[in-house]
Amino acid sequence: MESIRELFRVGKGPSSSHTMGPALAAKIFKEKNPDAISYRVTLYGSLAATGKGHLTEEALREILPEEKTTIIKKEKFLRPHPNAMLFEAEKKKGKKIKWLVFSTGGGSIKDLKNIYKMRKVYPHKSFKEIFEYCLKNGITLYEYVFRFEDKNIKRYLLNIWNTMEDAIKRGLKAEGVLPGPLKLERRASSMYIRSCNSRGIMERIGRVFSYALAVAEENANGGIVVTAPTCGSSGVLPSVLKYLKESYKLREEKIINALAISGLFGNLIKHNASISGAEVGCQGEIGTACSMAAAAATYLLGGSAKQMEYAAEMGLEHHLGLTCDPVAGMVQVPCIERNAMAAERALDCAVYALQTDGTHKITFDEVVRIMKQTGQDMKVQYRETARAGLATVFKMKR
């Protein structure tokens, strides 16, 4: 598995696989072909179907010279991943360079020729292997992460946490309507105020919701967020961390450890299944975010590695089969609310796991495998094409 830096990326919303991945690919292609007379980018599959609402063209045009670039769309699905892009550069004397590259989720890209390679830093591929290694060496899960990452990883994670907190602060201050045809009103600010004026369950759950909404609304507005594991699901983990940090007055060091643990679980899902809504539906995005946040919360609440695994397993298990059907192709409905629901569910999973000794029937590794299989069995309309589910209801109402 590669570094958790590849999972936690800082960038502009609203969709990591539609903006950050294509922007990274465009940057690499331009650097390799600076002398091109013209560029052509063909977007395939989900990038063609929902690229407009997800701002793919804008992301590409920020990198490639406007006057030299043509972007075309083909709603054909290529293998091995539905988010395909063909970059072409025309050079002097009619010479053409082509590069087929895939945006695989969370801002990551992959090509069949391995022009862009990610360095592998972890020798283990499953939670079982990692857990056994930790037991044998007498280390915790976050110590495992720090052992294999480079020496700057804690500083990197601190910056990730600061970026998450900034997104919460900006989102809680902002009001008004989000961009796009839905005219969706931001709710984080009013929900936060209401939670401050409430007690008990209204205060607690309202606070968690407002933090998740704050980040998800910032993302929908094209603001700076952290992929955790994607932009569309970027509100879940920050909300849970912020809520627990405030409630238990936790030191920043604990939050860094929690980020390392959540990154480890997210990485296992990314490596063994997928975090791309276009590939496996929303279970891969929101389900993964919930799983990561559940593991982090269990750690922050004093749980063992077995309990963390149980909570992470539940976070994913109870999102199995969740489809990706963004209304009008925007990362707004159901995405924003879904972040709030998953944040609360992550805390529920942690509390549930902490009420047990951590033993359970379905392992984390097994549920990851099943999530991938479920995604492969899902009809393509339910994988980020905005052609089924809730996306259809909105079209009928217009």
Say whether residue 286 binds ligand SF4 (CB under 6 A): yes
- Single out the residue of 88, 279, 365, 384 in contact with ligand SF4 (rule: CB under 6 A): 384
Please choose, from the candidates 93, 83, 234, the residue with its C-alpha nearest in 3D space to the C-alpha of residue 165: 234
Say whether residue 326 binds ligand SF4 (CB under 6 A): yes
Give the end-to-end CA distance of the chain in Å, rounded to a whole number. 45
Interface region with ligand SF4, contact rule CB under 6 A, candidates 87-95, 176-184, 240-248, 282-290: 282-290
Smallest distance from ligand SF4 to CB 332, Å: 8
**What whole-number distance in Å separates Cα of residue 61 and Cα of residue 67?**
10
Smallest distance from ligand SF4 to CB 232, Å: 3
Smallest distance from ligand SF4 to CB 177, Å: 19
- Asked if residue 334 has a cis previous peptide bond (ω within 30° of 0), the answer is yes
Interface region with ligand SF4, contact rule CB under 6 A, candidates 63-71, 124-132, 262-270, 281-289: 281-289
- Single out the residue of 10, 213, 295, 331 in contact with ligand SF4 (rule: CB under 6 A): 331
3-state DSSP assignment of residue 65: coil
**What's the angle, vertex CA 386, arms to CA 61 and CA 83, rounded to 5?**
50
Say whether residue 335 binds ligand SF4 (CB under 6 A): yes
Please choose, from the candidates 237, 316, 232, the residue with its C-alpha nearest in 3D space to the C-alpha of residue 272: 316
Q: How far is CA 337 from the centre of its chain?
A: 15
- Single out the residue of 42, 83, 233, 288 in contact with ligand SF4 (rule: CB under 6 A): 233
Sheet holding 108-111, edge to edge: 69-74, 38-44, 84-90, 96-105, 108-111
**53 vs 303, which CB is nearer to ligand SF4?**
53
Say whether residue 277 binds ligand SF4 (CB under 6 A): yes
Interface region with ligand SF4, contact rule CB under 6 A, candidates 3-11, 37-45, 126-134, 323-331: 323-331
Say whether residue 324 binds ligand SF4 (CB under 6 A): yes
> Binding-site residue total for ligand SF4 (CB under 6 A)?
13
Long-range contacts of 191-194 (CB under 8 A, 24+ apart): none
- Asked if residue 14 has a cis previous peptide bond (ω within 30° of 0), the answer is yes
- Single out the residue of 59, 268, 282, 340 in contact with ligand SF4 (rule: CB under 6 A): 282
Say whether residue 232 binds ligand SF4 (CB under 6 A): yes
Please choose, from the candidates 221, 206, 205, 203, the residue with its C-alpha nearest in 3D space to the C-alpha of residue 167: 221
3-state DSSP assignment of residue 389: coil
Interface region with ligand SF4, contact rule CB under 6 A, candidates 124-132, 246-254, 262-270, 329-337: 329-337
- Asked if residue 229 has a cis previous peptide bond (ω within 30° of 0), the answer is yes
Give me the residues that bind ligand SF4 (CB under 6 A), please. Answer: 232-233, 277, 282, 285-286, 324, 326, 331, 334-335, 338, 384
